[in-house]
A and B are shown apart, each in its own frame.
Chain A
């Protein structure tokens, strides 16, 4: 059984850097086709894809976040880390760690429970 668990601060001040960690169990981050993504959801709003890192270390980012994001993985620790610089209150929301499987099904197949992050002074 695959589980994804997000961890990180619940409250961050504007202009600070947010660091979120996803700890994975039941899955090797180096398995062909596996991508680990971060997706966020502001309260009462739709979902927004932020970044993804693949088994071969290929990384893609949502350009709308204007180079504020860095995604990394440490397969030996079964962890994926997202860093977001210069946070703003509009970054408030639930942040999900999500497993993406390329090929088949080519979709987001497993979601963590999410972690709520509030940006406020």
Chain B
């Protein structure tokens, strides 16, 4: 199975400051079709997750442009350029390059 390791486990950020979350895969996430199926999800307290980023770097519909994703192969990063109060919660990376589909352990973001 593809193991996804997220760091840090938690992050406390002041409003308006940047934040960065890392996701490392145990194997390359480049699919045989050439695409990299690494996504980022955001889960607010008491809510289901929602899609932020797909294929490593593409923002999903309606996602603010302060969110960006980058990375190839095994190393990926989610960046928030200026954290807002609404950004609190847990962020997960997930891969769908190969079954079984797997998730990272999550990174909890709090506001300072």
User: Taking beta carbons and an 8 Å cutoff, which residues of A are in contact with B?
Assistant: 37, 46-49, 52, 60, 62-64, 96, 100, 105-109, 111-114
Contacts and interface: CB of A to CB of B under 8 A. Distances in A.
Interface size of B as a range: 20 to 34
Given A107-B96, A111-B48, 19 more contacts: A47-B41, A47-B92, A47-B103, A49-B100, A49-B101, A49-B103, A62-B101, A96-B49, A100-B96, A105-B51, A105-B58, A106-B37, A107-B54, A107-B94, A108-B39, A108-B51, A109-B51, A109-B60, A114-B48
A113 B103 contact: no
Given A111-B48, A111-B49, A111-B50, A49 B55 contact: no
B42 to A, nearest CB: 11
A106 B96 contact: yes
B37 A64 contact: no
A46 B101 CA distance: 13
B44 to A, nearest CB: 12
Contacts of B58: 105
Q: Which among A49, A96, A100, A113 has the greatest number of chain B C-beta atoms within 10 A?
A: A49
Interface of B: 35, 37, 39, 41, 48-51, 54-55, 58, 60, 92, 94, 96, 99-106
Nearest to A65: B100
Contacts of A64: 100
Nearest to B53: A107
A49 B48 contact: no
Contacts of B106: 46
A108 B60 contact: no
